[in-house]
Every structure is written in C-alpha cells, then in structure tokens.
Amino acid sequence: MSASSAVSQPHSASPNRVLLALMPVALAALGWLDIASVQPNRIVPGQGMNLWAIMGPAGVLLALLPLAVGGLAWRATTLRMRWALCLVVLAMLALPFGLAAFCRAFIDPDAPYARVGLAAGFWVLLFVFMLALIEFKASLRLPRGSWWGLGALMLGAWSLSLASGALDKLALMQEYLGRSDKFSEALVYHSLLVTSAVGLSLVMGFALALAMRRWPLLERGINGVLSLIQTIPSLALFGLLLAPLAWLADRYEWLSALGVQGIGAAPALIALVGYSLLPMTRNTFVALGDVDTGIIESARGMGMSPSQIFLQVRLPLALPVMIEGVRITSIQAIGLAAVAALIGAGGLGTFVFQGLGQAAMDLVLLGALPIIAMAVIVDGLLTALAGALRQGVRHD
C-alpha cells in the first residue's frame, strides 16, 4: 500500500517512506553542513558556521524536529501526519526569524560591509522541508484553500522579516538593496516577455490546432516543423535569429522603429514563441479531439449548429487539458527567458549571468530565486484553475 493511500485511511499505520527518506537528510544537514557564513565584505569569502558553532549544545534541540517528524511518519495515520505537518510548517515559519537572530548575533553593527551568506545546510533544509510539504499535500485531504492559507502564512513570515529590515545583512539582500530599481525593472520586463510569448503561442497554437483538425493532412507537417524547433538548443536558435533580424531592421525602417533588431527582445520573443508552440498546439489538438463523441452527437441532436457545438460544448470540455498546455508552456518560457539575457533581452537572467561572471553567487541567486518562485506560483495557479474547470465540467 502506498504512503498516500495509507494516510487517507484513519486506522492505517503504514510508514510514509517519503518522509522517512527526507528526515535523515535534514538531520545530516543540521549536524554536518554549514548553515550560514559571515563575510567581512562582498569579495572576501565567508567563514562557514554549522549548528554547533551557532547555538552550541542548544542546537541539539533543533535536531529533535526531524526526529519527531520521522517518528510520526513511522506510523502514518492521518492524525500523526497532521502533527508532522504542523512541525514542518513551524520550521518553515522559524527560518526567517532564525536568520534574523543570526544576523543580530554575528554581524558587528560597526562593520558596514559585513554580510551573512546562506550556506549549503540552509538550502538543503529549505529543499527538504518543501519536498515534505509536497508530500503532505499529496497525502492529506485538507479543506479547500488550506494549502493557500499555509503558503500565505509562510510568505507572510518572510515578508515581515524582510520589511522590518531584520534580514538586511543577508548577502542576498545586500545585492538587492544595491540594485533595487534595476531588479524591479528586470522583474517587470521578464514577466512581460513571458506573458507576451505565452499569449502569442496560445493564439497561434489554437489556430494551428484548428487547421490540423480541419485539414488532417497538415498534422504531420506542422508537428514535424514544431518538433524540429524543439530540438534546436536555445542559444543556437538565438544565434540563428541574429543575422536575419538585423538584416530586416536595416532594410525596413518601420521594423527598426518598432525595436526589431538582431539582439534584444525581438529574437528572444520569437524564440520563446517557437519553443512554446509545440506543447500549446499539441495539447489544444488533443483536448479538442478527446471530447466524448456521444456528447457531441447529443448536442447535434438538440439542433445545435457546428459553431454552437464548438463554442458551447467542445471548447468548454477541452479547456482543462488546454490549460495544462498553457501551464507547461508558461513554466518553460519563464526559464528560457532567463537564457535570453545573453543576447541583450534583459530580464532576471541578467543578474544570473552577471553573478556568474563576477563569481558572486548571491547575485546569481538574486536572479534565479525569483524565476523559481515565478514558475512555482504559475504552476500552482494554473493547476488550480485546471482542477476547478474539471470540477465544473463534472458538475455540469
């Protein structure tokens, strides 16, 4: 019996193997890895500190948390799993306040350039706790909206710590504070680039899917071309677009006036749309074709016209699968938009590549973490939307 089915039954006592595998990793991170480091400035490497160096013997108490979660997961009844969830959520809520206390304790107020770096142990713990939350979400049947509430609670803890200035001495925050205006511009630009690419690919993918349904002979050719685009590495595709776009901008002034050139947003947008078309077109085509023929025949028997059947029956029933295509495309575009910074497209990828060039990992994180957060948020929202649409279809 799987762990998920075990916890869904109140009297079951099967172990949750996922949590039992994760908690030793958390325990090892607490015991052997550095949690944070103290840097005198941006250039000099920091001195790593493990849990013992930070808290002394009192740090042993923190080790009780993964042990407790593992103990509860050994007999994973619903009640015990809920207690384990509470412990993990408390740990996630404590992380920002623990970092704030570390900054106060180990950073000299008279050292203006001193900063706190996040070491491997912190990232391992954060990753383990997030995986644990994913397992809880799959295993526990909580009331609708509970997970969004827990997410808002954890986000609120981080927001409170950041807004109060308690985390200003984090190296990551130091990088942000020195580039706050550029960061805001990059975040907005990255979002607009992704939104534009997804919107264009949605319109084009929908049109291509309709054409494939109307003329079946086009299916193999369209799928072949879109699959070929997928096989081209992103940097190679950006490079292939440089020369023709530069030539077009030089030959046609109106294109140059629109901002089309060999580098920048134009090749980035074209490449993102190209990569997005295959999942968008394929999901739309499959979604429209998988509608139950019995429902279509019933609608036709009721006297509906072909356009009414499409708009009122086929399209609403296909929407959940189409949303899955939008979700896949959006997550892919969020990541690829970062690579587009190499051709001057801007966005959050600029910080990633600047950080790599300067060997400044906190600058890399300044660009990478918002990209990850954006992908997770978009994935959660579109997954919830697809689920809501499926529920609506069932009720109808």
Q: pLDDT digit string (tens) for 62-114?
A: 889 999 999 999 988 989 999 999 999 999 999 999 999 999 999 888 888 88
Q: Beta-carbon neighbour count of residue 280 at 10 Å?
A: 27
Give the Å distances, CA to CA, from 234 to 193, 269, 271, 274, 370: 16, 12, 8, 10, 21
Token pair of 113, please? Answer: 């350039």
Tell me the range of 181-195, 239-253, 283-297 where mean pLDDT is highest. Answer: 181-195
- Rounded mean pLDDT of 152-171? 91
**HSE-up of 57 (CA within 13 Å, CB side)?**
0
Q: Are 291 and 317 in contact (CB under 8 A)?
A: yes
pLDDT of residue 4: 45
Q: How far apart are CA 142 and CA 128, in angstroms?
A: 21
pLDDT of residue 390: 77
128 has pLDDT over 70:
yes
Residues of 91-120 as b/e, b for ≥16 C-beta within 10 angstroms? bbbebbebbbebbeebbeeeeeebbbbbbe
Instruction: Please tell me the predicted confidence (pLDDT) of residue 148.
Output: 83
pLDDT class for 309, splitting at 50, 70, 90? Answer: confident
Task: Identify the three-state secondary structure at position 37.
Answer: strand
pLDDT above 80 for 144: no
14 has pLDDT over 90: no
- Shortest CA distance to 347 belongs to which of 226, 200, 191, 239? 191
User: Span 160-186, mean pLDDT?
Assistant: 90
- Residue scoring higher pLDDT (171 or 259): 171
Strand partners, 39: 115
Predicted pLDDT at 85: 94
Query: Is the per-residue pLDDT at 29 higher than 50?
Result: yes
State phi, psi for 178 to the nearest 5 degrees.
-80, -10
Pick the range with the lowest mean pLDDT from 99-103, 152-156, 339-343.
Answer: 339-343
Confidence of residue 393 (pLDDT cuts 50, 70, 90): low
pLDDT in tens, 222-279: 989 999 988 888 888 888 888 888 888 777 777 777 777 777 788 888 889 999 999 9
Element (H, E) at 46: none
Does the CA dihedral 100-102-107-112 come out positive or negative? negative
Separation between Cα atoms, residue 304 and residue 287, nearest integer Å: 21
Structure tokens at 254: 């109106």
Per the prediction, the chain carries an average pLDDT of 86
- DSSP code, position 233: -
What average pLDDT score do residues 112-141 get?
A: 91
Is the C-alpha dihedral spanning 42, 47, 51, 53 positive or negative? negative
Out of 8-12, 56-60, 76-80, 387-391, least confident range: 8-12
